[in-house]
Chains A and B, each alone.
Chain A
């Protein structure tokens, strides 16, 4: 009993120890066979993976059996294939048997077996990858390829190198993802074509035996295809040209040559022929060109031209170019461009541009006909002016600006089918500045006259400016307040004030004619001017009335204030003086043609006297422009002429007015001839009134050197209106001063002349008064003058001293009395 107990206790203790030993040590884990592989069908190896080793050194044993045999063998060789492997050498390897392989792991505690593995050698054949893969690039027949070489996998047993391996190669460029796999066969080398120039390729090979699987891919090999290693690109033909329609040349553009020197050849064939020729001349026309000389040029046939580029890598042919020489003619530019200035008489000079056709073009035989075109541009200009000239080789230019420099160029083209040549080299034309004296004189005269006009205009503006302004910008009418206008009171113009008060008629100042009567302006000398103003019942002012700037609209109507009137008179009388001085300075050459006429009273209204028209004969008559606004101005050499002229002027003024029926021709004729014909004039003048039969005035010239004509500026004098007599014989009495002018013949000082007649009305605001000789010697009465313009009478007068009367033109004149010449009848004729 006790022994049983002791043995069970031992067993228990033993178990316990065993259990204790299991925590650190136990029987090994189960191994696992990873793979079995045969490299060459003659041997094979198996590898296993051990399981956990249980903490104790483990032994592995491989047991195998063949097919269904019972016998179990052990692994013959644990070393050759490495740890945990078993190598079956040739003797132990049968191809057509199935091996049942197990691996047992054993240690001190126990052992463990793997699962059995059935292995058939034929199915586990997998060779190693090929080795020694080498790559080369080689050009062959113009194409680059890679030459890949390798060796079969090495074998332990050299003798078994009789195996036949099948190889496979794959390559790709670096950028690509996909491999290109190429079956190679049994050879250990291969040429790869269809490569990209400049790409880097990666190549691998693998092999396989007749049974089994493919080996692994060999390690990668890289190769770079050099950039320049390629055939040339396609050349292109640029153009073909014939300069003279007898030969032609073709040029091509070379292509990139692929790294090697490239040869170009040009081949052509003609229309209708099969034969292909090569370019006859590569040199004459320069590099990359082909020159066809006369022998090789045919017209009206189409050439088919191609260019071939060749280098070591290969060749490339351009696209064909079809050309018919007739249509590709482009001549050289014209030559010998010359200029000639031609100066024909009586005409403006002009330029003739001549040139010659280009030297090669055969224009003389008519084979080639050229048309020309030229272009012009001033040197600083931007735009060219193109002129088509046609087939002539010269061109006349008329319209160029003198003094400027021009650039001119010519080019030509065949008259049919062809292109324009290049422009000839620039030719410069310098137009001479043809400065003719005659032109200059014209310009000087024009300049002087325009400055005169400007002066006159400015004077007019200054003196009558306010009136113009009033015309343009009529004054804003103030309120019509009945009552006393303090402003008027201040200025002291009583008549206006009273008229503002609405009293019409009390001061007869609102009567225009009375105004006319009042203001007699007798113009005589430049500096003296008397402006008598008589106001009925008002304090007279001998001083010049200051012009009023404003004009109150107080219902006075069109009659302006006396100030305006006086101002106007002043203006008119001062202007001639300035004109006179200027004109005298002007050189007078031609008596007949160029006389400038000057009147004392310059009328500001427009009026074209027939005289004026007549006098504007020559084209350089500068006075013509002035005369529109003024009565004829004249300066004169001698007083004799002056008399005549003034007389003529008078006549001219007179004739149309007085003698209404008089033909204008006659008066004009009389004017034109007057200069030299004194006596005739007189006769004529005397005749004129008789013809008319109504005039009462005479403009007589007793002696050439007699009384100064009324329009003589030097002899006219400003005189004081002594009085205006208003009686049965109304007259205007004037005081004369002694005139120390040229013609000393003047009235006795102190004597006053009575002017009773209106000889004429000049320019509808100048009354020309004439004295009545009969009453001339009557004494001057000292009565205060009264104003009545209506009292002026006309009568026969021997002497033709007359004075101007200026009057406001707007005012109408009343007709009164049969003796009167009704000035209003003249008024319309002026307008």
Chain B
């Protein structure tokens, strides 16, 4: 996976030890790293005749969702400081633009995406329960 190089906490304890901001940055980095590959992937599969139509629309949907999620995280976490953001995003952009993402096979791509989205989900949940512990935590 093209995001394998990123250092992400691999377990519950590590994830809980990380300070909040850093975790948020990590989430955003991950989401950013997938922006380009997803759009590229969408373009790529559009030409596949054998896929059913709803797969194509689903893929587009997922790309949109990732984008919205990123925006949402940014807003909710109040990420204002552009400098910090810029540094991270450049790194993430670098990752996302790498050819590695484009060279993956479709199944690998989906496998990597599934894993990373699971990561993002888990980190977000931990964040949520840290910030708002009363809400079903």
- B-binding residues in A (CB < 8 A): 245-246, 272, 294, 297-301, 324, 326, 362-367, 369, 391-392, 416-417
Q: List 7 tightest A-B contacts by C-beta distance, closest first.
A: A366-B129, A366-B125, A298-B10, A367-B12, A366-B126, A300-B115, A364-B137
Q: Is the CB of B115 within 8 A of A365?
A: no
Taking CB atoms, residues of chain B closer than 8 Å to A362 are 12
Give the residue name and chain of the B residue nearest to A271 (CB): B4
Taking CB atoms, residues of chain A closer than 8 Å to B119 are 300
Give the residue name and chain of the A residue nearest to B124 (CB): A366
Taking CB atoms, residues of chain B closer than 8 Å to A369 are 125
User: Which of B8, B118, B126, B127 lies in contact with A416, CB distance below 8 A?
Assistant: B118
Q: Give Cα A215–Cα B11 distance, bound, in whole angstroms.
A: 76
Taking CB atoms, residues of chain B closer than 8 Å to A367 are 12, 15-16, 122, 125-126
Q: Is the CB of B12 within 8 A of A246?
A: yes
User: Which of A299, A324, A364, A391 lies in contact with B129, CB distance below 8 A?
Assistant: A364
Taking CB atoms, residues of chain A closer than 8 Å to B137 are 363-366
Q: Is the CB of B118 within 8 A of A326?
A: yes
Q: Is the C-beta of B61 less than 8 angstroms from some C-beta in chain A?
A: no
Taking CB atoms, residues of chain B closer than 8 Å to A392 are 136
Q: Is the CB of A300 within 8 A of B13?
A: no
Given contacts A300-B118, A326-B118, A417-B118, contact A365 B8 (CB under 8 A): no
Taking CB atoms, residues of chain B closer than 8 Å to A417 are 118
Q: Give Cα A551–Cα B44 distance, bound, in whole angstroms.
A: 93
Can you report 29 A-B residue pairs in the complex whose CB atoms are below 8 A from each other? A245-B12, A246-B12, A272-B4, A294-B11, A294-B13, A298-B11, A299-B10, A299-B11, A300-B8, A300-B10, A300-B115, A301-B10, A324-B115, A326-B118, A363-B137, A364-B129, A365-B16, A365-B126, A365-B137, A366-B125, A366-B126, A366-B128, A366-B129, A367-B16, A367-B122, A367-B125, A367-B126, A369-B125, A417-B118
Q: Give Cα A298–Cα B119 distance, bound, in whole angstroms.
A: 12
Residue among B119, B121, B129, B133 with most chain A CB within 10 A: B129
Q: Is the CB of A365 within 8 A of B129?
A: yes
Nearest-Cβ distance from residue A611 to partner chain B, whole angstroms: 62
- A-binding residues in B (CB < 8 A): 4, 8, 10-13, 15-16, 115, 118-119, 121-122, 125-130, 133, 136-137
Taking CB atoms, residues of chain A closer than 8 Å to B133 are 364
Give the residue name and chain of the B residue nearest to A300 (CB): B115
Q: Give Cα A369–Cα B135 distance, bound, in whole angstroms.
A: 12
Q: Give Cα A389–Cα B122 distance, bound, in whole angstroms.
A: 22
Taking CB atoms, residues of chain B closer than 8 Å to A297 are 11
Taking CB atoms, residues of chain A closer than 8 Å to B11 are 246, 294, 297-299
Taking CB atoms, residues of chain A closer than 8 Å to B130 are 365-366
Q: Give Cα A324–Cα B115 distance, bound, in whole angstroms.
A: 10
Q: Is the CB of A416 within 8 A of B13?
A: no
Q: Give Cα A299–Cα B125 distance, bound, in whole angstroms.
A: 16
Given contacts A272-B4, A367-B126, A417-B118, contact A391 B12 (CB under 8 A): no
Q: Give Cα A298–Cα B11 distance, bound, in whole angstroms.
A: 6
Q: Give Cα A392–Cα B136 distance, bound, in whole angstroms.
A: 8
Taking CB atoms, residues of chain B closer than 8 Å to A245 are 12
Nearest-Cβ distance from residue A362 to partner chain B, whole angstroms: 7
Q: Is the CB of A416 within 8 A of B121?
A: yes
Taking CB atoms, residues of chain B closer than 8 Å to A364 are 129, 133, 137
Taking CB atoms, residues of chain A closer than 8 Å to B121 are 416
Q: Give Cα A272–Cα B1 distance, bound, in whole angstroms.
A: 11
Nearest-Cβ distance from residue A830 to partner chain B, whole angstroms: 67
Chain A binding surface SS class: loop
Taking CB atoms, residues of chain A closer than 8 Å to B16 are 365, 367
Nearest-Cβ distance from residue B19 to partner chain A, whole angstroms: 15
Q: Give Cα A297–Cα B10 distance, bound, in whole angstroms.
A: 9
Other than the given A297-B11, A364-B137, A367-B126, 14 more pairs (CB < 8 A) read: A294-B11, A298-B10, A299-B11, A300-B10, A326-B118, A363-B137, A364-B133, A365-B137, A366-B127, A366-B128, A366-B130, A367-B125, A369-B125, A416-B121
Give the residue name and chain of the B residue nearest to A298 (CB): B10
Taking CB atoms, residues of chain B closer than 8 Å to A416 are 118, 121
Taking CB atoms, residues of chain B closer than 8 Å to A272 are 4
Nearest-Cβ distance from residue A300 to partner chain B, whole angstroms: 5
Taking CB atoms, residues of chain B closer than 8 Å to A300 are 8, 10, 115, 118-119
Q: Give Cα A416–Cα B114 distance, bound, in whole angstroms.
A: 11
Nearest-Cβ distance from residue B61 to partner chain A, whole angstroms: 17
Taking CB atoms, residues of chain B closer than 8 Å to A326 are 115, 118
Q: Give Cα A299–Cα B119 distance, bound, in whole angstroms.
A: 9
Q: Give Cα A326–Cα B137 distance, bound, in whole angstroms.
A: 20
Nearest-Cβ distance from residue B129 to partner chain A, whole angstroms: 3
Q: Is the CB of B136 within 8 A of A391?
A: yes
Nearest-Cβ distance from residue A788 to partner chain B, whole angstroms: 90
Taking CB atoms, residues of chain B closer than 8 Å to A366 are 125-130, 137
Nearest-Cβ distance from residue A224 to partner chain B, whole angstroms: 53
Q: Is the CB of B12 within 8 A of A365?
A: yes
Taking CB atoms, residues of chain A closer than 8 Å to B115 are 300, 324, 326
Q: Give Cα A648–Cα B18 distance, bound, in whole angstroms.
A: 89
Residue among A272, A364, A366, A391 with most chain B CB within 10 A: A366
Give the residue name and chain of the B residue nearest to A369 (CB): B125
Nearest-Cβ distance from residue B94 to partner chain A, whole angstroms: 21
Q: Give Cα A366–Cα B115 distance, bound, in whole angstroms.
A: 18
Nearest-Cβ distance from residue B59 to partner chain A, whole angstroms: 19
Q: Give Cα A272–Cα B4 distance, bound, in whole angstroms.
A: 10
Nearest-Cβ distance from residue A198 to partner chain B, whole angstroms: 45
Taking CB atoms, residues of chain A closer than 8 Å to B10 are 298-301
Q: Give Cα A294–Cα B9 distance, bound, in whole angstroms.
A: 13
Residue among A300, A364, A391, A416 with most chain B CB within 10 A: A300
Q: Give Cα A366–Cα B8 distance, bound, in whole angstroms.
A: 17
Residue among B15, B121, B125 with most chain A CB within 10 A: B125
Nearest-Cβ distance from residue A301 to partner chain B, whole angstroms: 7
Give the residue name and chain of the A residue nearest to B125 (CB): A366
Taking CB atoms, residues of chain A closer than 8 Å to B127 are 366
Residue among A324, A364, A367 with most chain B CB within 10 A: A367
Nearest-Cβ distance from residue B116 to partner chain A, whole angstroms: 8
Q: Give Cα A301–Cα B15 distance, bound, in whole angstroms.
A: 15
Q: Give Cα A6–Cα B21 distance, bound, in whole angstroms.
A: 157
Nearest-Cβ distance from residue A265 to partner chain B, whole angstroms: 25
Taking CB atoms, residues of chain B closer than 8 Å to A391 are 136
Q: Give Cα A363–Cα B136 distance, bound, in whole angstroms.
A: 8
Q: Give Cα A416–Cα B125 distance, bound, in whole angstroms.
A: 12
Taking CB atoms, residues of chain A closer than 8 Å to B122 are 299, 367
Give the residue name and chain of the B residue nearest to A245 (CB): B12
Taking CB atoms, residues of chain B closer than 8 Å to A301 are 10
Q: Give Cα A793–Cα B36 distance, bound, in whole angstroms.
A: 105
Taking CB atoms, residues of chain A closer than 8 Å to B136 are 391-392
Q: Give Cα A364–Cα B133 distance, bound, in whole angstroms.
A: 7
Give the residue name and chain of the A residue nearest to B117 (CB): A416
Q: Give Cα A299–Cα B10 distance, bound, in whole angstroms.
A: 5
Nearest-Cβ distance from residue B107 to partner chain A, whole angstroms: 14
Nearest-Cβ distance from residue B112 to partner chain A, whole angstroms: 10
Taking CB atoms, residues of chain A closer than 8 Å to B118 are 300, 326, 416-417
Nearest-Cβ distance from residue A245 to partner chain B, whole angstroms: 7
Q: Give Cα A301–Cα B11 distance, bound, in whole angstroms.
A: 11
Residue among B4, B12, B121, B125 with most chain A CB within 10 A: B12
Nearest-Cβ distance from residue A550 to partner chain B, whole angstroms: 77
Nearest-Cβ distance from residue B77 to partner chain A, whole angstroms: 15
Nearest-Cβ distance from residue A100 to partner chain B, whole angstroms: 88
Q: Give Cα A163–Cα B11 distance, bound, in whole angstroms.
A: 78
Q: Give Cα A288–Cα B53 distance, bound, in whole angstroms.
A: 47
Nearest-Cβ distance from residue A358 to partner chain B, whole angstroms: 16
Taking CB atoms, residues of chain A closer than 8 Å to B126 are 365-367
Q: Give Cα A625–Cα B4 distance, bound, in whole angstroms.
A: 80
Q: Give Cα A245–Cα B11 distance, bound, in whole angstroms.
A: 9
Nearest-Cβ distance from residue A341 to partner chain B, whole angstroms: 25
Give the residue name and chain of the A residue nearest to B16 (CB): A365
Nearest-Cβ distance from residue A738 to partner chain B, whole angstroms: 89
Nearest-Cβ distance from residue A366 to partner chain B, whole angstroms: 3
Q: Give Cα A440–Cα B13 distance, bound, in whole angstroms.
A: 62
Q: Give Cα A294–Cα B16 distance, bound, in whole angstroms.
A: 14
